Structure 1
């Protein structure tokens, strides 16, 4: 809406409304700045670089390979097998923990410090703050996955080597194709990791407790792993959030099959949407008058 200048008769832009709240962009920048300032966040990313290197060095130096694990028997002699061995181990509990440490804290920390009243009454709206925190949490999860994958693949190839990989069907995969499949296998972790991020957000909002927000998704993930390993529950396994962590197996078979990947997309998306909607509704109905 414009007004007319009394001296010149030209239209002028109306002055901005005082007290208007910042939008989603400002919330994203603020939450990102807060996350970057935390020592814990930096330590997680540094650990995502250093821990895979240490694991590769230790496993490679073992006289006997871990034959009882997927790709374990080839891990000491093949860098691609080593990267897949680390992937199989990380998917069991490392990835849920890696994202829960941030997502499980990002809302509960406001309760811990008693800052909800200040933030919501003076800075921004509940919806804007919710989506800002949620998007930053998901962004960190994907960044942590990228760093962990890059460090693991690089360390495995440089330390162990880049010989042809033996696939799950016994076929020989040349290095050029093997590196593509290994990268794709790690990329398959993104959607279920986002699902665990949203689960951690839900517990962070609902429990108002940092310890619960961090620990609950990890414990639930371990329970799902145990349930998925039981017999007679084939009809339930596709709905477990841990099942998409295994979908990459089809990429290493001959012929390749992508059915589990498609099921994993649906499962991860379903968990993410349900958890985010539930967390949003809990936050919208929260009484913040106490701080």
Structure 2
């Protein structure tokens, strides 16, 4: 006996050829950057560093304001009691010796080497991201920390100095009297000149972090190199070499406070900082992309 099926026709069962294809979208560099920023925010070291940048200038200004003698051996040290605009310039000159390189290297010197130390490279690369994406995301995260830390340090230094010492006029490097309304934007601009060499030191720390695979070396060596550059810059007879050191642009703000401002050292310092940044990042990128990290 033959049977026939009546009713609603059956929907054919999807086969391998008819099933809808699911496309997996690979995460972009922005997604990787958010991962890296989230990791930095979660680290106690990052939060404590920014807290120190916020609190330390207040304590320094209070200490110097309470002392009878002024640190006259440093630029603007003699005016630290007479103008609230002098203290930020004094701290700016002192910070360029080792504080700024240390801030730049604190995260950048560890951000790649930390993956080597914990053997997490293979885990990261299984997230369907390329080495270039990881490199630029980590680089941007480290640079972001450098910019934020410098901005917090600048705001705290200038704000506490004006509140504690006052808004008296500032004496320029040419002996001219700079009124308060003009002094404030000048001091802010002087601090802004430190950003380019700071990014240069960040790139240097990234290079050392990739090359050495050692977090301690990545953080400590840029600071040591900064001190060596400062020492070389004080020696006579090597003016041409001094111009190409990464620490020299940290003094380019002097031209902004001259009686007749000049911007030659600032412009040249920006070019030097950009060259250091480009060379260090290019070398670090090539080294990371060519490295064999199959072992972890």
Alignment partner of 1:237 out of 236, 242, 267: 242
What residue number does 2:126 align with?
A: 121
What residue number does 1:9 align with?
A: none
User: How big is the shift at 1:263?
Assistant: 0.5
| Paired residues for 1:62-101 under 5 Å | 62-101=67-106
TM-score of the superposition, structure 2-length normalised? 0.92
User: How big is the shift at 1:118?
Assistant: 1.3
Structure 1 distance, partners of 2:56, 2:63, is 11
Alignment partner of 2:217 out of 212, 215, 240: 212
| Paired residues for 1:60-209 under 5 Å | 60-209=65-214
Corresponding residue SS for 1:236: helix
What residue number does 1:6 align with?
A: none
Alpha carbons of structure 1 residues 182 and 16: separation in structure 2 relative to 1, 3 Å: farther
Alpha carbons of structure 1 residues 44 and 57: separation in structure 2 relative to 1, 3 Å: same
Alignment partner of 2:231 out of 218, 226, 229: 226
CA-based RMSD of the aligned residues comes to 1.2
Structure 2 distance, partners of 1:90, 1:106, is 23
2:256 corresponds to 1:251:
yes
Alignment partner of 1:22 out of 21, 27, 42: 27
Would you identify which runs of 4 or more consecutive aligned residues in structure 1 move more than 4 Å? Answer: none
2:295 corresponds to 1:290:
yes
What residue number does 2:43 align with?
A: 38
Q: Deviations over 1:138-160 (max 9, x none)?
A: 11100000000000000000001
User: How big is the shift at 1:91?
Assistant: 1.1
Cα contact 1:96–1:218 (8 A) shared by 2: yes
Structure 2 distance, partners of 1:85, 1:122, is 47
The number of residue pairs the alignment matches comes to 278
User: How big is the shift at 1:15?
Assistant: 5.3
Cα contact 1:21–1:125 (8 A) shared by 2: no
User: How big is the shift at 1:76?
Assistant: 1.5
Structure 1 distance, partners of 2:57, 2:281, is 31
Structure 2, unpaired ranges of 5+: 1-19
Structure 2 distance, partners of 1:210, 1:21, is 30
TM-score of the superposition, structure 1-length normalised? 0.94
Corresponding residue SS for 2:53: helix
Q: Deviations over 1:39-78 (max 9, x none)?
A: 0000000000000001101111111111111001001121
